[in-house]
Amino acid sequence: MTMKPIIIAGPCVIESEELLDCVAQELVRINRELATNIIFKASFDKANRTSISSFRGPGMEKGLQMLADIKSRYGLRLLTDIHESYQASPVGEVVDVIQIPAFLCRQTDLLVAAAKTGKTVNIKKAQFLSGKDMRYPVEKAKDSGAKEVWLTERGNCLGYNNLVVDFRNIPDMLEIVPRVIMDCTHSVQRPGGSNGKTGGDRRFVPSMALAAKAFGATGYFFEVHPDPDRGLSDAANMLELSKLENLIKELL
């Protein structure tokens, strides 16, 4: 039996309550129209911004309260990322899926702390690793008690300020875990390639999603924003919120 694909969507970073409400309302509408079960994603802290002057978010305490409010108002499942081991326990009190950032996917203490929450752990594949290499982060999480582990493809470094996606990583990772997500927006990044910011090209987001489907992806990750060019993080790569429904229709 084919698994129903997981859809993860939301703004890159928590900018305001108004933004979270705007995106959540659209996700609820799409869920109703397409009988999907989209997981709402937003980061409370972007700890890996290129520049120290870049917007990071509201921080953990305020950010988790804002996410909890979204769950309470809209009934959406939640995903957010952690960067420090001490964040795992309080984050696990609020969200359904804890995400491990790609750059940190080999950090043993971070994986162990996430696993011990009992929540699903979504590990993003590092830009410097192959799909087969992700066996070891998965082992760390499972040996620490994680009941469900997902892996996410987000491209590999190609020289400076560029990424390329080797879609063969998807079937390779499906040999390790049953759920492999395609991060369709971070994979079009140009890391650090825009004068102290990460650049990219959102035009290729739909193509990334459809190619990943051809390679057997069982889920799709989209950072979305009602006005991406005004976004405070990952502006060049986020998909217009208005285009999400039609893209999901294609994938389904």
Average pLDDT over residues 84-102: 98
Note the pLDDT of residue 50.
73
**What's the rounded Cα separation, in Å, for the pair 182 and 184?**
6
Note the pLDDT of residue 57.
85
pLDDT digits over 212-251, tens only? 999 999 999 999 999 998 988 878 889 999 999 999 999 9
Give percent of the chain with pLDDT exceeding 90: 82
CB atoms within 10 A of CB 55: 14
Is residue 165 within 8 A of residue 205, CB to CB? The reply is no
**pLDDT higher than threshold 60 for residue 1:** no
Average pLDDT over residues 170-177: 98
**pLDDT higher than threshold 80 for residue 198:** no
Give percent of the chain with pLDDT exceeding 70: 96
Closest CA to 205 of 236, 233, 169: 236
What sign does the dihedral 202-225-10-89 (CA atoms) show? positive
**pLDDT higher than threshold 60 for residue 161:** yes
The mean-pLDDT minimum among 58-62, 99-103, 160-164, 206-210 falls in: 160-164
137 alpha carbon, distance to own chain's centre: 17
**pLDDT higher than threshold 80 for residue 192:** no
**What's the rounded Cα separation, in Å, for the pair 127 and 186?**
11
Note the pLDDT of residue 56.
85
Average pLDDT over residues 103-128: 98
Average pLDDT over residues 140-169: 95
CB atoms within 10 A of CB 135: 14
Is residue 246 within 8 A of residue 252, CB to CB? The reply is no
